[in-house]
Structure 1
Amino acid sequence: MFDDFMTRATLAGIGVAFAAAPLGCFVVWRRMAYFGDATAHAAILGVALSLTFEMSIFPGVLAVALIMALTVTFLTGRGYAMDTLLGVLAHSALAFGLVAVSFLSGIRIDLMAYLFGDILAVSRTDLVVIWGGAVLVVGLILWRWAALLTSTLNEELAYASGLNPKREQLVLTLALAITVAVAIKVVGVLLIAAMLIIPAAAARGLARTPEAMALIAAAIGALSAFAGLQGAYLFDTPAGPSIVCVAAVLFVGLNLIGWQSRRGA
C-alpha cells in the first residue's frame, strides 16, 4: 500500500490536517494568524541549517521554529507592537534563510519544494515523522485542553483557577513549532499558515462547542488534502497550493450556506 506515491501523499496530508486542526482553532480564537505565519517563515532558516550540518530537515526546522515562537512570546508586551514585531521577524527570518541557502555549495536544493511543499515526494520515513508529530501535537493539546481553553477565553478566570496563561502559551508555542516542522514537506513554508487557519475558520460557523470545532476543522483539513491531491493529479497543478485552494473553496461555500440559512431564519 505504501509503495503508491498517492497513498503516501494522502496519508501525509491527512496527518498534517489532524495536527493543524486543533492548533488552528486556538490560532483563530487567540487571533494569532500572524504568529503562525512568522513561525512558518522561520522554517527556511532551519532548512538551511539542516543542510549545512548534513542532518535531517525536521530537527533543524523544529529548532528554528521553536526559537522564533519563543522570541515572539518573550518580546510581546515589552514595548513592541505585535503586528510590527511579527512583520519584522517573519520577513527577516525568511530573507536570512533564503540568503543562507544561496551560500550552500555542492548541495542541490529545490527551494520551491520548501516554499510550496512537495507532498508527492513524501517517503515512508517522512510519513513516520509526520504522523509522529501529529500524534504528539494532538496528545499535547488533549492533555492541556481544559487549561488552554480557559486561558484563551478568560485570562483572569485562568489565574483564579490556579492556571498560568503564560505556561499555556508556551504549550501552544511548542505545538506550533512541531506542526510547522512536520507540515513543511506537505504544503511548504508559505502555505502552512493557510492550513492552520482556513479549516478552523471554516469550521467556526458550524460548531456549537470548541470540541466540535476542532473535530470539524480536522474533517475539513483532511477533505481538503484528499480533494486537493486528486485535483492536482487530474489537472497537473501544484499539490500544496491545490490543497489550500480546496480549503478556501470549502471556507467560502460553508460561509455562504451559513449566511443563507441565517437569512432564511
Structure 2
Amino acid sequence: MLDDFLVRAAIAGVGVALAAGPLGSFVIWRRMAYFGDATAHAAILGVALALILSMPVTLGTLIVALAMAATVSWLAARGHAMDSTLGVLAHSALALGLVAISFVPAVRVDLSAFLFGDILAVGKSDLAVIWGGALLVVALIVWRWSRLLTATLSRELAAASGIDPDREGLVLTLALAVVVAVALKVVGALLIAAMLIIPAAAARGLARTPEGMAVGAIGIGAASALAGLGASWQFDTPAGPSIVTAAAAFFLVTALLGRLRGR
C-alpha cells in the first residue's frame, strides 16, 4: 500500500495534467509558449506578495499571474515586440520576486519548493485548490471550445462569425493564470511552462483532431506525473523535475512513433 503522501501527490499531478493538457494545446496552436513562461516566472513575485501580505500563496500567485497576463496583452495591443517584452517581464518578475522574498525576515522560505515544486508535501487543502482550479479551467475551455478554436484558427473568420477574438484571448489568459497558480505547488515556477507545452507537443504527433490532441495531452500529462513520481520514489530524485523528465521521454517516444507512422 502506498503511503498517503504519495497518493496525494499522484492525485495532485493528475489534477494539474487535467487542466494543463487542453490549455497547453492552445498555447502551442497560438504560439504562446513564451507567454506561458513569463506568466509562470511571475509566480515567484506572487509568492513574495502573499508572504508580505500574509495571504494564501495560491491567491498571491493568481493575482500576480493575472497582472502579468494583462500587462502582456496590453503591450501586445500597442504593437510592442513580444519576444523582447516577454523576456524583460519574465526575468524581471522572477528576480524581483526573489529579492522581495529576502525582505521577509520573519518567514523562512525554501525557494526550491517554489522554483521546482514540492508535490510530495501536498496536503488535502492543496488538493482541493488544485482540483478546484483544474475543473474551473476545464469547464471554461469546454464551454468556449468552438469559439476558442475559431479565434485560434483565424481572427478574420472569428470576427465574421460574430466572435470577438480578443475576448477569447482573454479567456485563455485567465485560464493560464489559474493553471500557474494551482501548478506552483506541483512542479514549481520554472517547470510550469514545461507541463503546459511538452504533453501537448507529444500528443500533437499522434492526434488527428484538435479534440484528440487535447485529450491526448491530458493522458500524457497524467502518465508523466505518475511515471515521474514513481521514478522519484525509486531513485530518490526531485519529484517536479522527474515529472518533466518523464514528459520529455513521452515526447521522444511519440515523436518517433509519429515519424515511423509517416513513413
Q: TM over 0.5, yes or no?
A: yes
Gaps of 5+ in 1: none
Once the two structures are overlaid, the 10-residue window that deviates more, 34-43 or 249-258, is: 249-258
Amino acid at match of 1:139: A
> Partners in 2 of 1:7 and 1:180 — Cα distance?
22
Q: How does 1:162-181 map to 2 (within 5 A)?
A: 162-181=162-181
State the match for 2:43 in structure 1: 43
| Structure 2 residue 151 is the aligned partner of structure 1 residue 151 | yes
> Partners in 2 of 1:261 and 1:145 — Cα distance?
29
Look up the SS of the partner of 2:190 in the other structure: helix
TM-score (norm 2): 0.98
> 1:95 offset after TM fit, Å?
0.6
State the match for 1:227 in structure 2: 227
After superposition, give the CA deviation of every residue in 1:46-72 in whole Å (9 maximum; x if it has no partner).
000101111210110000000000110
> 1:79 offset after TM fit, Å?
3.3
> Partners in 2 of 1:250 and 1:145 — Cα distance?
26
> Partners in 1 of 2:100 and 2:130 — Cα distance?
26
Taking only the aligned residue pairs, the percentage that are identical comes to: 68
> Partners in 2 of 1:30 and 1:241 — Cα distance?
26
State the match for 1:76 in structure 2: 76
> Residues 2 and 8 of structure 1 are in contact (CA less than 8 Å); yes or no, is this contact kept in structure 2?
no
State the match for 1:206 in structure 2: 206
Q: 1:206 to 1:81 in 2, by over 3 A?
A: same
> 1:261 offset after TM fit, Å?
2.2
> What's the Cα RMSD here?
1.1
> 1:198 offset after TM fit, Å?
0.2
After superposition, give the CA deviation of every residue in 1:140-194 in whole Å (9 maximum; x if it has no partner).
1011100000000011000000000000000000000000000000000000000
> Partners in 2 of 1:195 and 1:118 — Cα distance?
15
> Partners in 2 of 1:21 and 1:251 — Cα distance?
14
Ranges of 4+ aligned residues in structure 1 off by more than 4 Å: none
State the match for 2:216 in structure 1: 216
State the match for 1:244 in structure 2: 244
> 1:77 offset after TM fit, Å?
4.0
State the match for 2:258 in structure 1: 258
> 1:243 offset after TM fit, Å?
0.2
After superposition, give the CA deviation of every residue in 1:185-237 in whole Å (9 maximum; x if it has no partner).
00000000000000000000111111111000000000000000000000000
TM-score (norm 1): 0.98
> 1:2 offset after TM fit, Å?
10
> Partners in 2 of 1:10 and 1:114 — Cα distance?
18
Look up the SS of the partner of 2:187 in the other structure: coil
State the match for 1:125 in structure 2: 125
State the match for 1:142 in structure 2: 142
> 1:78 offset after TM fit, Å?
1.7
Look up the SS of the partner of 2:191 in the other structure: helix
> 1:260 offset after TM fit, Å?
1.8
Look up the SS of the partner of 1:218 in the other structure: helix
> Partners in 2 of 1:164 and 1:3 — Cα distance?
49
Aligned length: 263
Look up the SS of the partner of 1:189 in the other structure: coil
> 1:258 offset after TM fit, Å?
1.2
| Structure 2 residue 182 is the aligned partner of structure 1 residue 182 | yes
> Partners in 2 of 1:3 and 1:166 — Cα distance?
46
> Residues 2 and 124 of structure 1 are in contact (CA less than 8 Å); yes or no, is this contact kept in structure 2?
no
